[in-house]
Structure 1
Amino acid sequence: MTDDRQDLVLTHHASEAARPLLDALCEVYADAYGVEPLAEKTSAFRGRAERGLGYAGFELVTAWAGGALVGFAFGYSIPEGNTRWWQGLQPEPPAGFTVETGTRTFILTEIEIRQSWQSQGIGKRIHDELLSGRLEERATLATNPTAAKAQALYEAWGWERIGQRPGMSTDYFDAYDLFLRSLGKERPR
């Protein structure tokens, strides 16, 4: 008997190829959080995913085993001139930190693994696969300030907590801890 966990297939998808996978992504998301696929939390995820599909630089990496979707990660580039992501960041960042060119910063917006596949290193494999091909200088992500386990994992993966910003009216949490990671692709200014 083969162990499907060793035979993962990681696949990249741009927006148009990702759209037909939205229902499957919602199923994985619901499983990862132990909620019903039609729960409010999953509906909020669907809305975020649908918005994300519309951004330039959107990319999804999926993990498949035995023909089943077991995990995914996706994100997109912060659009040129858009500073909403950094709005209200404390401590206040240095001058020029929030300048966005459309190719400077990648937002890792979601990384989800089915519960039965968690703690197997699959999240790290998907994470690394997604970030390794990005052309931006840096990547950012946001977490629930009380998600100590997730934050420790991100720090072990090379992310640095840079501060906290308030949530917006449409956000799931009232505040978010922001993390940053260099992608080693500094561009001349």
Structure 2
Amino acid sequence: MTINNVSLTPHAGEEGTELLEELCDAYADAYGVEPGEEKTAAFRHRAEKQFTRPGFALMTARNEGRLVGFVFGYTLPAGDTHWWGGVQPEPSAEFLEETGSRTWVLSEIEVRRAWQSKGVGRALHDAVLGARGEERATLATGSDAPALPVYESWGWRRVGRIPGDEGDYYSAYDLFVLKLPVSR
């Protein structure tokens, strides 16, 4: 798929490993940090763990061969409620139930600074979520994250807040859900 001279390509987990250096470079650029800085190292660690998770999917955006953005995530396994652990206000048991095919986690969506506000992020978002078979998607972000208004404008609904773990970027995270399939 091509949008505004940007081609979108889906990838499986093993390809994520092959693209890791490019992903780290685009991630660093999206945040205006150097690729070797702590924030990028933390991203690398998260990404390496996620490439092998069930339901992993990666979508890249390229312009003239250069990676300008990406999105990836994975499916929550059956019975796994760790994602929802400690969420306040506490949702119903039915909401928390995971079947292994119910919820897809949008883990990362990043666009290089020069390509932000040009529709690349939305195209990546819609392409990856449009290809999912799960009932819903979820994401976590800091309550003061710059992308928060963007997620809300794309239809994401805040369902609560969870405390961050030691060493996390934020001390707490807002959790959002979006009903699938995505429609514009």
After TM superposition, is the score higher than 0.5? yes
**Structure 1 residues 28 and 76: alpha-carbon distance in aligned structure 2, compared to 1, 3 A threshold:** same
Task: State the number of aligned residues.
Answer: 181
For 1:73 and 1:166, locate their aligned partners in 2 and report how far apart those are by CA, in whole Å.
Answer: 24
Partner of 2:89: 91
Q: CA deviation at 1:54?
A: 1.5
Partner of 2:152: 155
Contact 2:10 2:58 in 1 (8 A): yes
For 2:17 and 2:160, locate their aligned partners in 1 and report how far apart those are by CA, in whole Å.
Answer: 33
Contact 2:155 2:178 in 1 (8 A): yes
Q: How does 1:1-150 map to 2 (within 5 A)?
A: 6-147=4-145, 149-150=146-147
For 1:107 and 1:172, locate their aligned partners in 2 and report how far apart those are by CA, in whole Å.
Answer: 18
Contact 1:165 1:176 in 2 (8 A): yes
**Moved runs in structure 1, 4+ residues, more than 4 A?**
none
Tell me the secondary structure at the aligned position of residue 97 of structure 1.
Answer: helix
> What is the TM-score normalised by the length of structure 2?
0.94
For 2:60 and 2:116, locate their aligned partners in 1 and report how far apart those are by CA, in whole Å.
Answer: 15
Q: Is it true that 1:174 corresponds to 2:178 in the alignment?
A: no
Bigger Cα displacement from structure 2, 170-179 vs 13-22 = 170-179
For 2:85 and 2:104, locate their aligned partners in 1 and report how far apart those are by CA, in whole Å.
Answer: 16
Unaligned stretches of 5+ residues in structure 1: none
The percent of aligned pairs where both chains have the same amino acid is 54
For 2:143 and 2:63, locate their aligned partners in 1 and report how far apart those are by CA, in whole Å.
Answer: 32
RMSD of aligned C-alpha atoms? 1.5
Q: CA deviation at 1:170?
A: 4.8
For 2:132 and 2:181, locate their aligned partners in 1 and report how far apart those are by CA, in whole Å.
Answer: 10
Partner amino acid, structure 2, of 1:165: I
Partner amino acid, structure 2, of 1:118: Q
Partner amino acid, structure 2, of 1:175: A
Unaligned stretches of 5+ residues in structure 2: none
Tell me the secondary structure at the aligned position of residue 171 of structure 1.
Answer: coil
For 1:166 and 1:38, locate their aligned partners in 2 and report how far apart those are by CA, in whole Å.
Answer: 27
Tell me the secondary structure at the aligned position of residue 82 of structure 1.
Answer: coil
> What is the TM-score normalised by the length of structure 1?
0.92
For 2:181 and 2:37, locate their aligned partners in 1 and report how far apart those are by CA, in whole Å.
Answer: 39
